[in-house]
Amino acid sequence: MNLRRRIRNSQEERNFSVRTSKAGWAVRGAAVLLAGGLAFCALYMTETAMAAPETKAAEAGTAGRELPEVSGTVAQDRQELPQVTGAAGRESDNSRGEAKLSLEVSYGYGNNAKGGRYLPVDVELSNSGTEAFSGMLQAKTMESDGTVYQYEYQVQAGAGEVMSARYYIPLGTGGDQILFTVSGEEGKTLVYKPVNLNVSRDVPEMYIGLLSDDPGELSYLDGAGINYSTLRTRTFELDEADFPEEEIGLDLLDVLVVNDYKLRNLSEKQIAAIMYWVHGGGILILGTGERVDDTLGRFAPELLDESYGAPNLRHINLGENFALDEPGAGMLAVSCVDVSLHGGNVILSSSGFPLLTAAAKEQGIIAVAAFDLGDIGAFCEKNSSFLDFMFTSLLGENRINRLAELVYSGNSDRYWSVQTLIDTGDVDKLPNLFLYMAVTAIYLVLLGPGLYLFLKNWDLQIYYRRGVLVLSLVFAGIIYMMGISTRFRSTFFTYASIRDVTSDYVTDTTYVNVRNPYNRPYYVDLAPEYSVLPITSSYWGGYGNWEELTAETPWQTEIVATEEHVRIQGQNIPAFTSRYFRLENKSDNVEQIGFDGTVDYFEGEIGGSVTNHFPFPVENAAVMLYGNMVLLGHMEAGETKNLADYELMRFPLGNSYVVADRITGERDFGATDINNKEYLLAMERSNLLKFYMDNYLTGYTADARLIAFSSQKEETLFLKDKAAETYGVTMLTSSMEVNASRDRSLYRSVLMKEPKVVSGSYDSAVNSMAGMEPLTLEYQLGEDIDVESLTFESVNEEFLEADRNSFTDAFTGSIYFYNYGTGNFDLMELEGQTLDVEELRPYLSPGNTLTVRYVYDGIAGYNDLQLPMPMVAGRER
């Protein structure tokens, strides 16, 4: 289903490329008619960004020996690029004996690595010579598509000193080796050290970091199989003295467990790194118990709805939701705390008391246990499958499968979605086809009867051949001048940027496509505050089919980090070949830009207000809740809009295609029209919003998110050289807290916890079923509330009708509730109705579960059937 959506979502982009490619070929044809070989060569130089995929570029033969152009300007002074010439096993080479160097390298956690992540690498460069050393450290890796990347850093070591530093090196999915070299200022290799990486290739591993004063109590978390051993856990002890101060330092971890530890020992930067790592997809688990103030106290204001009480001894049953061989084996007496997590979903409970509660935070999850995780160690060691049950319930099968697929398919999904997102160009670079046709017609008229009759009238027919040559040269010059505006003279960029703004920080995530119009080396300089991550595809045939990586293997792309800039260099790359990167920069929100306001949501009604604090107007603004949205449109700088004045619309989960088209207005246009700049702008914004929803807004979240598009083009923000050619679009986002309570009654989606499938086929990510057979689901309404009402909200018809290539239909048919009194399923009439507690009482279990059967009354096909969204209102216990 996801593949079909990807095909559908990229259909218009492919049509766009085909049409523009045809335009480029038509221009070439005109040049052939105009001036033969000479005119054809001139017109060939007017190749456009859209026709670039048609270019038959020859392989570069210089092997990167010349200094390439600086940020798009051809360098005037050519120099030799550093060449790696060291031999394996050689650690030092200095004929004068001035600097005697040796290199020691450790990586990851306990020298363990995982592909597709930033790998922390600790380097010690020892200088036992008599002279200070200043040079470069190079780290060469091979991506899973066979591309060789090299990362270069400035290093210095005084005489008799040891330089220590940590670097974060992107590691491809298939990467199992890094080649390190140290070279002097003249480019000569002085140290060569290959490092083979310990990467698991058999069973995908889930890396768990442990932050605890007594990590031995959590040893049971290591080596556990998750979801029928789809994943295997591996734990690593973390030290506060070595804890990273930026989220990139936690990228190698999948889960971070904080238990029996005082979080206030960490600095503000380290705490901020944890939260931003969670927002990017990390899983944070907090143990509490007697030390609840130490582990949870620092996060309490932003995580909890209300303060927690004092710990007290409680008898809990870990086997209540989990089958044990011996009755009562799960009974434990442990110190527990009653925690009310904002937007939390109870994962494990005992007699209505929440034992493990989780809340979605952006792409990640924060989970809080009511007890010290060390207190259940003995039980988990005897019942190892309980740990499987706990992690599977917490992460969900979709997240577990995504973690497992990284080992096999790597980041290919992200690569193809990024390619669709930014593999475009500036329409102003397209040649005017009609103008070229007009010039061609004039040339043919003058070249044929025009020139001949003119010369014949003056009895100068003998000069006809010379006239043809002169006329061809004149029109070749005209064609060359016409192509100046469409010609790329240097490196150019297409990009899509997502700017996420909070009251404290502004985070820019930019996906950029770097292309060069010549078959020669080049480089571009980025702003030094940006981190750079290459985005590559996986090799479909599997790993190990590429040539072995050696010191002599030439790199295609090099990333050099200095204090002045981050430089991307390319060599041995054919003209117009795309290189994709993700650039990230987090800065303080000094000017307090962004959006703020309040969102009130209860029983299908929206309220509150939103204010635009950006110093410029924004367009296509919309407030998005889980499965709901409000279209605000254009907002001036400083403008405030009341949400109650706008319609609340429910959209189909997982169908980003129709949602993005509705918000950006792309659906209001007819067929693809590359000459209509408004259509192209809507299409680009729609592509970015689809990408954002598919990669950043997956799964349930209790908060709302305001998205909008900048009316200003800040295209060179990530570049050091502001004169480079760039083209792209920027989306602005801010998270907003939702007030979904009224008089201690809560209103929320039942899908905050994934329903249990009793029978049939169900896709929780998009809340849909297959119509081949009836579907029976067990919904968990939550043990933290006394249910007052239940509403099944249907998707707005306009979304299903607007999807011209829809693979989704609305569910039609009969809905049955299981009656616990009679043991039968009762047919329910739910169209537009809200069921109160008296009507629901026969159908609710003691644990507040509701079992529902859906029977489709249409003709079963291949389309997904979008189910109504169950919404529950209840008073907090």
Quickly list DSSP for 146-168: S-EEEEEEEEEE-TT-EEEEEEE
**Residue 556 three-state SS:** coil
The CATH fold assigned to 101-196 is Immunoglobulin-like (2.60.40)
- Provide the residue ranges of all domains of the chain, joining segments of one domain with +: 2-44+432-482, 101-196, 205-408, 595-741, 744-876
DSSP labels, 92-115: ---TT-S--EEEEEEETTTS-B-T
Alpha carbons 370 and 355: distance in angstroms, whole number: 5
pLDDT given at position 10: 43
Integer-rounded Cα Rg, in Å, for the chain is 31
**Residue 257 three-state SS:** strand
Token digits for 240? 């506060």
Show the low-confidence residues of the chain (pLDDT under 50). 1-97, 540-545
Token digits for 524? 């571009």
With 0-12 / 13-18 / 19 or more C-beta atoms within 10 angstroms meaning exposed / middle / buried, residue 541 is: exposed
Alpha carbons 512 and 525: distance in angstroms, whole number: 13
Beta bridge partners of 865: 769, 809
Alpha carbons 520 and 527: distance in angstroms, whole number: 24
Alpha carbons 124 and 107: distance in angstroms, whole number: 12
Nearest 10 degrees: Cα torsion 222, 225, 231, 232 = 30
Question: With contact defined as beta carbons under 8 Å apart, do 75 and 69 qualify?
Answer: yes
Which is it for strands 522-526 and 345-350: parallel, antiparallel or unpaired?
Answer: unpaired
Alpha carbons 271 and 267: distance in angstroms, whole number: 6
pLDDT given at position 806: 58
Farthest CA pair distance, the chain: 117
Assign domain 744-876 to its CATH architecture.
Sandwich (2.60)
Token digits for 312? 């007290």
Alpha carbons 398 and 360: distance in angstroms, whole number: 14
Beta bridge partners of 855: 814
Question: With contact defined as beta carbons under 8 Å apart, do 511 and 576 qualify?
Answer: no
pLDDT given at position 65: 33
Strand segments (E) across 737-823: 738-739, 741-742, 745-749, 756-759, 762-763, 768-769, 775-780, 785-793, 808-810, 813-818
pTM of the entire structure? 0.80
Question: With contact defined as beta carbons under 8 Å apart, do 826 and 819 qualify?
Answer: yes
Alpha carbons 482 and 35: distance in angstroms, whole number: 15
- Amino acid (one-letter) located at 362: E
Nearest 10 degrees: Cα torsion 273, 278, 281, 286 = 130
Tokens 């999807």 locate to: 803
Beta bridge partners of 199: 113
Size of the chain, expressed as the number of residues it contains: 877
Burial 804-816 (b: 16+ CB within 10 A, else e): eebbbbbbeeebb
Nearest 10 degrees: Cα torsion 115, 116, 122, 124 = 80
Residues in Cβ contact with 458 at an 8 Å cutoff, skipping those fewer than 6 apart: none
721 sits in the region (left: phi over 0; alpha: psi -120 to 50; else beta) called beta
For the sheet with 640-642, list strands across it.
Answer: 640-642, 605-612, 595-602, 738-739
The DSSP element (H or E) to which 445 belongs, if any, is: helix 433-445
Among positive and negative, which fits the CA dihedral 738, 739, 744, 746?
negative
Alpha carbons 32 and 476: distance in angstroms, whole number: 10
Which pLDDT tens digit goes with each residue over 391-445? 998 988 878 888 887 766 666 677 888 888 887 666 666 667 778 788 888 888 8
Which pLDDT tens digit goes with each residue over 12-66? 444 433 333 333 433 434 333 344 433 333 333 333 333 333 333 333 333 333 3
Which is it for strands 808-810 and 557-561: parallel, antiparallel or unpaired?
Answer: unpaired
Alpha carbons 187 and 86: distance in angstroms, whole number: 11
The CATH fold assigned to 205-408 is Rossmann fold (3.40.50)
Cα–Cα distances (Å) from 197 to 140, 175, 176, 584, in that order, read 13, 8, 5, 26
Cα–Cα distances (Å) from 872 to 445, 751, 794, in that order, read 77, 10, 14
Question: With contact defined as beta carbons under 8 Å apart, do 356 and 380 qualify?
Answer: no
Alpha carbons 366 and 396: distance in angstroms, whole number: 14
